Structure 1
Amino acid sequence: MSSPTHANSYYAASANDKTPRPQLAGEHRCDVCVVGAGFTGISTALALAEKGKRVIVVEGSRIGFGASGRNGGQIVNSFNRDIDYIFDNYGEVIGHKMAKMAFAGADLIRHRIEKYNIDCDLKHGNVFAACNKKQFEELKAKQALWESHGHNELELLTSSTIQDHIGSDRYEGGLLDRKGGHIQPLNLVLGQAQAFESLGGLIFEDSEVVRLEKGVPGKVVTKQGSVIADKIVVAGNAYIFGILPEIEKKAMPCGTQVIATEPLSPEMQKQLLPTDRCVEDCNYVLDYYRLSGDGRLIYGGGTTYGARDPGEIESIIVPKMLKTYPMLKGTKIDFAWTGNFLLTMMRMPQVGKIGENLYYAQGYSGHGVTNSHLMGEILSDAIDGDTERFDVFASMPQYQFPGGRMLRVPYTVVGAAYYNMRDRLGI
């Protein structure tokens, strides 16, 4: 039987570390066993190893196989639901505590890159682009909101000044966040995995978990081996199947599609994105794009609730790209891929504990790059006895999608269609 491989993406092709890790065999013992080697799992494992814990990571496929190695590569601050929503729906106490964490993920990513000398094409700054006047007014409010909570590295862009950053006339204006940025995400998670291993951590790939035993100590069982651990962290996000139904029913995997062009000339790169920022628009079903380290345009967008035939990706995304950049007509597409992120009912991350020793974090709803790194640090603190930030998230209600597994997809499709219509009408 062949070993699992990454999706055929630009990220996999340009990965710095293609070394497979061994398959779990026999019985092992450690302080903490982490299930899943994406951003959440590796961030947790690295933070625990830095605290001196003996940690084993068990991955069903390859490091960064899921969303962590397939996403748009954008460092975007805050949560899917912004700070004002959190205040309105969860109260001032939780609101103030969440506001203190809203920008921490980006800081942690930069700290890790610098500390461990991770080569992942880090570039600074992201632009939120308004497609209509209503969205531009919302960006004005976002700037005021974020500045009221201490984030002052923001610049409002008009319909003319946004063209200093984006060579397109699509937008009514935008908001530049200098604390945002972009990276090659697979190389970011691989670099942190190497840092974790340098501290004595172990990673086993091609080791799908078939059973969790929740006693004290707990046990993680694969077809070939097992890990006995004082604590277990489940960090599979959209790629967890069947081992923990109590959290799986609270969220829904959703697909997004990404393409990467051939390398563009320096002149074309400068025309498209003069300041080399990454961009996401403000639509509910949004477009996002940026330049790679070797000068490709990486363009993503759309959301699918269920599987999408990879053969359709170019037909979905290329028209979006050409609407933004008509000058790219005829440009060769070298890579096209899809992957799943995990959507929650409230669009807020779900963090919690089951029994005495099993922890989980999931459901970043499109803000996974920054939120997953933050959650790894929060989980490691909780396991080490500091539950202050963990308790904030764990206290927030976690709802199932209405109708259960059979109806959550059609319900969400109807909702997405409604908001897509609002995007088009600018209301």
Structure 2
Amino acid sequence: MSRNPNKQTFPAPHAPSYYAATANPAPERPPLAGAVETQVCVVGAGFSGLSTALSLAERGYDVAVVEASHVGWGASGRNGGQLVNGYSRDLDVVESRYGAEAAQALGAMAFEGADIIRERVARYAIDCDLRDGGVFAALNTRQLDELKSRAASWQAHGHHALQLLDEHSIRAHSNTDLYVGGLLDSRGGHVHPLNLTLGEAAAIESLGGVIYERSPVTRVVSGSRPTVYTDGGQVRADKVVVCGNAYLGKAVPALRDRVMPVATQVMATEPLDEATVNRLMPSGACIEDCNYMLDYYRMSADRRLLFGGGTVYGGTTPADIEAKLRPHLARTFPELAQARIDYAWSGNFALTLTRIPHMGELEDNVYFSHGYSGHGVTTTHLAGRLIAEAIDGEHERFDAFAMLKNHPFPGGRLLRVPLSVLGSWYYQTKEKIGL
């Protein structure tokens, strides 16, 4: 892998992140120019769009991907890099809202996204620092009881690569005084997300797909052969798949009020010595805690601690990311309280009101998927496979998501942020007083 982790200059296409500084070489892809015909046009070259395009290309479809900036520019190339199985709401919540049949269908697919990533990394020899193991960490007994219920629920749906951890055994994964226990998911893990997107893009092109960068979509016109328009050209296709997620903008008005952009921040420390890494995070698994406003962290391949959190509703970037995250880092690992921070960046994910991914058809021949609500690395890969199945005539699994009711945020774009902040304040207050 070509890397110079101490260099602090970045290519314009990406946020000033550790990932951009350590990205694998990638070609500069041309913008869309003129009229193009294809079987399927995918809007967005993040994980959702790339997974959809690759799933379709593997099935023999001609695919064109239209990206506003560059492959992996949005959340897919900026996130914490954690392969977190399941959804942002547990399966018992899915069952209470939508019924046992829906819970059974979603439960059967809850771990598939991470498996798809592993399959593709192996098949296409993608160099992205993939490592197994993810831990949900409990800060109190209530959270630990919830993890026990989650494990039982997942096991009831056939997912058994799980191990409950007590306050002693969790130290093999995160050697801190914070946690009373946790849940190890051996089918979880972590990855260099930008390099994963670049590898998947290359795989699409190896199968004959085409990717247009620097081509923001201005509108999508439905019909028997829908058309995707940019300032420089248009793509006419048999099917269109919209995968803009938090960065879709105004291109598809029908989707704007169905998700809310939420900013999360990540920072990367200076490289740590091997003894420190082995002492603080012996197993190499990634960690996320169970708070409503959670912290998440992992070690990079070059021994930097990548530490994230700092959720901001509405998608605004804090004035000082390091100042926002450093107290959380110091609380977790006091010996790193003064560690040098070499990179700090922000990015947006898309939240739905239900916290369940939103998939469906806008009109005949126009599909969409968005709103993974913090579980995007894995669920995007599942979504891409499900959309490809539906386009190929296999609707059952896609329909399991598409049939779930989704609601716009109350108060529309004006009030969705303050109302969400009020809700988050309520849950954080409960956590602080131990409820």
TM-score (norm 1): 0.98
Q: Provide the rounded CA distance (Å) in 2 between the counterparts of 1:403 and 1:112.
A: 41
Q: Provide the rounded CA distance (Å) in 1 between the counterparts of 2:316 and 2:26.
A: 27
1:131-183 deviations in whole A, cap 9, x for unaligned?
11110111111111111111111111111111121110100111111010000
Q: Which residue of 2 aligns with 1:122?
A: 130
Q: Which residue of 2 aligns with 1:283?
A: 291
Q: Secondary structure at the match of 2:102?
A: helix
Shift of 1:343: 0.5
Q: Which residue of 2 aligns with 1:103?
A: 111
For structure 1, which runs of at least 5 residues remain unmatched after alignment?
none
Q: Which residue of 2 aligns with 1:261?
A: 269
Q: Provide the rounded CA distance (Å) in 1 between the counterparts of 2:182 and 2:267.
A: 24
Contact residue 222 and residue 363 of structure 2 kept, 8 A: yes
Shift of 1:310: 5.0
Q: Which residue of 1 aligns with 2:88?
A: 80
Is the counterpart of residue 417 in structure 1 residue 430 in structure 2? Answer: no
Is the counterpart of residue 246 in structure 1 residue 251 in structure 2? Answer: no
Contact residue 329 and residue 337 of structure 2 kept, 8 A: no
Aligned counterpart in structure 2 of residue 44 of structure 1, from 52, 57, 60: 52
Q: Secondary structure at the match of 2:182?
A: strand
CA RMSD of aligned residues (A): 1.1
Q: 1:256 is matched by which residue type in structure 2?
A: T
1:18-40 deviations in whole A, cap 9, x for unaligned?
32211111111000000000000
Shift of 1:425: 2.0
Is the counterpart of residue 207 in structure 1 residue 215 in structure 2? Answer: yes
Q: 1:195 is matched by which residue type in structure 2?
A: A
- Within a 5 Å distance, the mapping from 1:19-34 to structure 2 comes to 19-34=27-42
Is the counterpart of residue 15 in structure 1 residue 23 in structure 2? Answer: yes
Q: Provide the rounded CA distance (Å) in 2 between the counterparts of 1:18 and 1:289.
A: 27
Q: Provide the rounded CA distance (Å) in 1 between the counterparts of 2:177 and 2:105.
A: 39
Contact residue 310 and residue 336 of structure 1 kept, 8 A: no
TM-score (norm 2): 0.96
Contact residue 26 and residue 198 of structure 2 kept, 8 A: no
- Within a 5 Å distance, the mapping from 1:125-144 to structure 2 comes to 125-144=133-152
Q: Which residue of 2 aligns with 1:348?
A: 356
Q: Provide the rounded CA distance (Å) in 1 between the counterparts of 2:298 and 2:254.
A: 37
Q: Provide the rounded CA distance (Å) in 2 between the counterparts of 1:20 and 1:424.
A: 49
For structure 2, which runs of at least 5 residues remain unmatched after alignment?
1-10
Q: Secondary structure at the match of 2:99?
A: helix
Q: Which residue of 2 aligns with 1:337?
A: 345
Identity across matched positions, percent? 52
Q: 2:398 is matched by which residue type in structure 1?
A: F
Q: Provide the rounded CA distance (Å) in 2 between the counterparts of 1:274 and 1:330.
A: 21
Shift of 1:289: 0.1
Q: Secondary structure at the match of 2:128?
A: coil
Q: Provide the rounded CA distance (Å) in 1 between the counterparts of 2:160 and 2:315.
A: 40
Contact residue 263 and residue 346 of structure 2 kept, 8 A: yes
Q: Which residue of 1 aligns with 2:75?
A: 67
Aligned counterpart in structure 2 of residue 165 of structure 1, from 168, 173, 188: 173
Q: Provide the rounded CA distance (Å) in 1 between the counterparts of 2:184 and 2:381.
A: 22
Q: Which residue of 2 aligns with 1:399?
A: 407
Is the counterpart of residue 298 in structure 1 residue 322 in structure 2? Answer: no
